[in-house]
Amino acid sequence: MSGTESRGLVLDEKLLFESSDPGRIGYSLAELDVPPAVPATALLREELTGFPELSEVDVVRHYTRLSTWNYGVDSGFYPLGSCTMKYNPKINEKAARLPGFAELHPHTPDHLSQGALQLMYELQDALGEVSGFPAITLQPAAGAQGEFAGMLMIRACHEANGERRTKVLIPDTAHGTNPASAALCGYQVVPIASDGQLSAAAVAEAMDSDVAGLMITNPNTLGLYEKEIREICQIVHDGGGLVYCDGANLNALMGISRPGDIGIDVMHFNLHKTFSTPHGGGGPGSGPVGVVEALQPFLPVPQVVRSEAGYRLDYDRPQSIGRVKAFAGHFGILVRAYAYILAMGGDGLRRATELAVLNANYVRARLEGVYDLPYKQRSLHEVVFSENNLANDCHTLDVAKRLIDYGFHPPTIYFPLVVKGALMIEPTETESKQVLDEFCDALLAIAAEAQEHPELLKQAPVRARVKRLDEALAARKPKLRWED
Amino acid sequence: MRYLPHTSDDVRQMLETIGLAGIEELFSGVPDACRLSRPLAIAPGCSESELLGRLKKLADANAQVSEWDAFLGGGAYNHFIPAVVDHLVSRSEFYTAYTPYQPEISQGTLQAIFEYQTMICQLTGMDIANASLYDGASACAEAVLLAVRCARKRSKILLSQALHPQYRETVKTYCRYLPVEIEELPFDAGYVTDLQALKDRLDEQVAAVVVGYPNYFGRIEELATLAELSHARGARLVTAVAEPLALGLFKSPGELGADVVVGEGQSFGIPLSYGGPGIGFFAVKKQDMRALPGRLVGETLDQDGKRGYVLTLATREQHIRRERATSNICSNQGMCTLMVGIYLALHGKRGLRQLAEQNYSKAAYARRRIGSLAGFQPVEGEVFNEFAVLCPEPAAQLLARLEKSGILAGIPLCRDYPQLENGILVCVTEQNSKQQIDRLVAGLAGGAA
């Protein structure tokens, strides 16, 4: 083995409910300083059956032990393609916890929230500069909600022009959220085949007067820049449609190419990918959306604006699509992204992109040949291999599980769907050559194991806390909560 | 740059392995016409100490609740957060991980979500809870979509006007281009959903009735009656809980007959943070399991028969079902589920009850004192820790005056309810001392005199 694996003491831990001991408490309340009152008995609930009773130390130990069963970016290399698992700077965590941010109530009047509003305004500006869009909303809670808001704006714009278009074109390499978001806007999804890159001809063929727009990811999920993007945007525009860009892969473009300059009309950002905010074990993310001028009237409310009197939340936007969530956005995440941009600066953001692309191409160069690379065009921030070269009926899933034994988080697997057994590797810029070498050595060793000792792949992982889990059983007999 | 580990030697060697002469060549796939020909107009980077200085200055320009006599609620609540919560969520094995796609090395996240799902079921009185949605408002919108999906031929939704205004707006945005018809139900003189209006409008087209519990005016709705009326016409009752601490004291919506219970979990250990991130909880009865939006964690066994947890029933979701998925959501609020789980585990069975009783008692005291002032009319009937008050002068004027004495007395109701120009919404939690409440009352009295 040549990874980062080693042995450690792994502790077992029951469920909270199984550790509960009646009478234990883990909280302290100040003495009640007003007369006690209770609601009418008929409204009162009975005891919370099954709710845990634990002391503070029980709770601390419980979650500390659970944490040791996890693998995060701080544990090691996490090359999950399309997710941009870059290092999460610690100062960002401190920034979000500053009392002036963490203890700011969302209903505080604007004139008492000037610092927060200024931060949001400046973040809008910075995102606008990176992407080339004149207006940004910070409200969407995550990328998928950004897609939804963006597609709603496209539809609102068409309807404001008296047009009732029904279809949205989506290439076959798209994230599943794209068609799902389009459907939520009442659109019919028309998939378009792409041979690694979307051709202008394919778009021209699918384009008609019922098409509201195209959703495209650039660079796409194969890590390839869509080289006909300008022509594609032109075709969609000529046909009366608008172009949405999934900004999941913006980490490949900072300071290099701006979606707003090349014909894209709307794009969401994933602050938890490109702008270093933590992925949090699944969220919260943040999915701001940038738009061209023509779509500006349709942005969600409220919008952060600046006037002579200072910054304020503007609700007076008659053509707005409305709000997609309560309040103004995932502010705590916005603080982290803002801190990242300030720390990096314009040149630093470009450098991050350069090194992210360098890292992906280095991994590609080291593995190509041993692993099958179906699309050989110059890739940007990520590289996608297939399972074609694996010996002895070993599959991508087996490689992924074996990587765990070597001490690495596996890449994204079986996506994009156009590659058989896809292994989608996105190293990001925050990994050193040394780490990449260890990872590549491990993958090369695994390819050799597939030839000589395929059982090592089939049994993997053997060094994690649990072995392969029976997902079919979980779905066949769903047990979704603890019960006594 | 401190976040970038490459030395110039590394870069040189890596380019050599790739077979390129320089970094520029990495971007040969980007057409010239698509290139940005100037540097980004963003200031140069700064040191960590400079960065912190700038952020502190911005933070200090905000009114943090701990330095004011703050009585703000309206969907975001100022509760004390034990040190343990932030300490544990700061374990970076939790917060630097992503969605647990690889269950063998994500058992910490998965078990924590399974426990969260269980506690949400216990609190709401429901069978199944998902791994969370973005917030209470979007969860409410997803509940409406679920109701329409499950009811098949029914497409009408009755939204109570006493439901949180931002939840109503979000529902409307989500349904904007879908074949869903939304009607609003008025509230009566007691600031609860008007039962007569409900009876009049319930028909065979209604998929769901949506109410708040407590509602936006702080009132405890008559859920049992609402459920009975809705069910009699074949509609689901969706209950949105913006202040879930109320469930520590009041009967659960599930017990009272609600079919879908959604809400905002921010009260349970999540900082106010200017309104986000929070967490949308979402719970249903067994019959709606396969219609659930979002992620779900289930229990299973590994190859050795050892208990473990995985993401499950994924065929509902966008990465598999694409445009036919139950929702477009991809993430959950991972780190926030953890905060809620830790907070609830610390408070447990008794703590949640005692904390809820304190909130109830403090609000009862404040409401009684304010009600004794000439010209002030708090809502009558059962409330939890929040209540609307009609004042003798326009809310804007009154709130501006109290602000000068360091009191954020409440939220004006007129933006969302123009007919309530003199109305404010006052929230009192365990964070408000009797002295603060007394100062609020004195401040209000001063103006009225």
Segment A273-298, tens digit of pLDDT: 999 999 999 999 999 999 999 999 99
Please give the Cα distance from A317 to A300 (Å, whole number): 8
Contact status of A375 with chain B (Cβ, < 8 Å): no
B369 and B306, same structural domain? Answer: no
Overall size of chain A counted in residues:
484
Query: Given B54, B277, B317, which is nearest A330 (Cβ)?
Result: B277
The neighbour count for residue B421, using CB atoms within 10 Å, is: 15
Segment B111-148, tens digit of pLDDT: 999 999 999 999 999 999 999 999 999 999 999 999 99
Helix axes B8-18, A331-367, angle to 10 degrees: 50
A160-163 LR contacts (CB < 8 Å, sep 24+): A160/A297, A160/A298, A160/A319, A163/A240
Q: A266: distance to nearest CA of chain B, Å?
A: 17
Query: Which value, to the nearest 10 degrees, does the dihedral of the CA atoms of residues A254, A260, A262, A264 take?
Result: 120
Strands B156-160 and B181-185: parallel
B71 and B128, same structural domain? Answer: no
Q: Spell out which residues of chain A touch residue B258, defining contact as CB-CB under 8 Å.
A: none
Segment A10-69, tens digit of pLDDT: 899 999 999 999 999 999 999 999 999 999 999 999 989 899 999 999 999 999 999 999
B377 and B293, same structural domain? Answer: no
Q: Spell out which residues of chain A touch residue B343, defining contact as CB-CB under 8 Å.
A: none
**B25: Cα separation from own chain's centroid:** 47
State which of B343, B371, B402 marks the end of a domain.
B343
State which of B343, B372, B407 marks the end of a domain.
B343
Fill in the amino acid letter for B366.
A
Which residues 261-280 of A have a C-beta within 8 angstroms of B?
A: 261-262, 276, 278-280
Residue B345 predicted with pLDDT over 70: yes
Whole-number CA gyration radius for chain B: 25
Please give the Cα distance from B240 to B209 (Å, whole number): 11
Query: Given A177, A323, A366, which is nearest B169 (Cβ)?
Result: A323
What contacts A28, CB < 8 A, 6 or more positions away?
A: none
Is the Cα torsion angle B101, B104, B109, B115 positive or negative in sign? positive
Segment A162-187, tens digit of pLDDT: 999 999 999 988 999 999 999 999 99
Which residues 320-339 of A have a C-beta within 8 angstroms of B?
A: 321-333, 335, 338-339
The whole-number average pLDDT for the span B190-215 is 98
B185 and B153, same structural domain? Answer: yes
- CATH code, domain carrying B72: 3.90.1150.10
Q: Spell out which residues of chain B touch residue A87, defining contact as CB-CB under 8 Å.
A: 3
The pTM score is 0.98
Segment B294-342, tens digit of pLDDT: 999 999 999 999 999 999 999 888 888 899 899 999 989 999 999 999 9
Count structural domains, chain B: 2
B165 and B146, same structural domain? Answer: yes
- CATH code, domain carrying B255: 3.40.640.10
In a domain, B380, yes or no: yes
Residue in chain A closest to B93 (alpha carbons) equals A72
> In order of start, what are the domains of chain A with their CATH numbers?
92-342 (3.40.640.10), 347-471 (3.90.1150.10)
In a domain, B17, yes or no: no
Residue A2 predicted with pLDDT over 80: no
> CA of B395: how far to CAs of A282, B167, B190, in Å?
41, 23, 20
Give pLDDT, residue B152.
83
Answer whether A116 sits within 8 Å of B91, measured CB to CB. no
Q: How many cross-chain Cβ pairs, A to B, lie less than 8 Å apart?
A: 692
B205 and B120, same structural domain? Answer: yes
**A194: Cα separation from own chain's centroid:** 24
Contact status of A347 with chain B (Cβ, < 8 Å): yes
Residues of chain B above pLDDT 70, percent: 99
Answer whether B23 sits within 8 Å of A230, measured CB to CB. no
Please give the Cα distance from A82 to A72 (Å, whole number): 16
Give pLDDT, residue A484.
84
In a domain, B100, yes or no: yes
The neighbour count for residue A306, using CB atoms within 10 Å, is: 15
Give pLDDT, residue A4.
86
Answer whether A480 sits within 8 Å of B297, measured CB to CB. yes
Q: For testing the chain A interface, which of B12, B23, B55, B287 should be mutated: the one with the most A CBs within 10 Å?
A: B55
B386 and B291, same structural domain? Answer: no
Give pLDDT, residue B447.
59
* Across A244-258, B93-107, B315-329, B335-349, least confident range: B315-329
State which of B278, B309, B343 marks the end of a domain.
B343
Whole-number CA gyration radius for chain A: 25
Mean predicted lDDT score pLDDT of chain A: 97
According to DSSP, the residues that pair with B241 across neighbouring strands are: B263
Answer whether B176 sits within 8 Å of A343, measured CB to CB. no
Which residues 187-216 of B have a C-beta within 8 angstroms of A?
A: none
In a domain, B300, yes or no: yes
Answer whether A69 sits within 8 Å of B107, measured CB to CB. yes
**What is the DSSP code (8-state) at residue B386?**
E
Give pLDDT, residue A7.
83
Give the pair of three-digit tokens for residue B368.
Answer: 């009684």
Residue in chain B closest to A172 (alpha carbons) equals B322
Contact status of B325 with chain A (Cβ, < 8 Å): yes
| Helical residues (DSSP H) of B61-106, grouped into ranges | 83-89, 92-95
Answer whether A26 sits within 8 Å of B45, measured CB to CB. no
ipTM for the whole predicted complex goes beyond 0.90: yes
Q: B119: distance to nearest CA of chain A, Å?
A: 7
Answer whether B331 sits within 8 Å of A284, measured CB to CB. yes
Contact status of B82 with chain A (Cβ, < 8 Å): yes
Give pLDDT, residue B449.
39
Is the Cα torsion angle B358, B362, B363, B367 positive or negative in sign? positive
In a domain, B268, yes or no: yes
Give the pair of three-digit tokens for residue B257.
Answer: 């007959």
In a domain, B243, yes or no: yes
* Across A8-22, A114-128, B234-248, least confident range: A8-22
Give the pair of three-digit tokens for residue B198.
Answer: 């409900």
Residues A377, A224: contact at Cβ < 8 Å? yes
In a domain, B213, yes or no: yes
Please give the Cα distance from A113 to B61 (Å, whole number): 7
Residue A433 predicted with pLDDT over 60: yes
B92 and B77, same structural domain? Answer: no
**A340: Cα separation from own chain's centroid:** 17
The whole-number average pLDDT for the span A217-222 is 95
Three-state DSSP string of A423-459: EEECCCCCCCHHHHHHHHHHHHHHHHHHHHCHHHHHH
Answer whether B310 sits within 8 Å of A256, measured CB to CB. no
Segment B429-445, tens digit of pLDDT: 999 999 999 999 999 99
Which residues 2-61 of B have a C-beta within 8 angstroms of A?
A: 3-6, 10-11, 13-15, 17-20, 23, 26-31, 33-36, 39-46, 48, 51-52, 54-61
Segment B36-65, tens digit of pLDDT: 999 999 999 999 999 999 999 999 999 999
Residue in chain B closest to A143 (alpha carbons) equals B330
Contact status of A258 with chain B (Cβ, < 8 Å): yes
Answer whether B318 sits within 8 Å of A176, measured CB to CB. yes
Give the pair of three-digit tokens for residue B387.
Answer: 């209540």
B324 and B300, same structural domain? Answer: yes
Q: Which residue has the tokens 């740059």?
A: B1
Q: A388: distance to nearest CA of chain B, Å?
A: 22
Contact status of B419 with chain A (Cβ, < 8 Å): no
Q: Spell out which residues of chain A touch residue B354, defining contact as CB-CB under 8 Å.
A: 29
Domain extent at residue B197: 84-343
- Nearest of A440, A403, A432 to residue A87 by alpha carbon: A432
Residue A367 predicted with pLDDT over 60: yes
B383 and B355, same structural domain? Answer: yes
B281 and B135, same structural domain? Answer: yes
The whole-number average pLDDT for the span B396-411 is 97
Q: A47: distance to nearest CA of chain B, Å?
A: 7
Contact status of B270 with chain A (Cβ, < 8 Å): no
B279 and B206, same structural domain? Answer: yes
Mean predicted lDDT score pLDDT of chain B: 97
Please give the Cα distance from A479 to B297 (Å, whole number): 8
Q: Spell out which residues of chain B touch residue A254, defining contact as CB-CB under 8 Å.
A: 40
Q: Spell out which residues of chain A touch residue B345, defining contact as CB-CB under 8 Å.
A: 16, 26, 52, 54, 59, 62
Which residues 9-28 of A have a C-beta within 8 angstroms of B?
A: 13, 15-17, 20, 24-27
Answer whether A333 sits within 8 Å of B137, measured CB to CB. no
In a domain, B12, yes or no: no
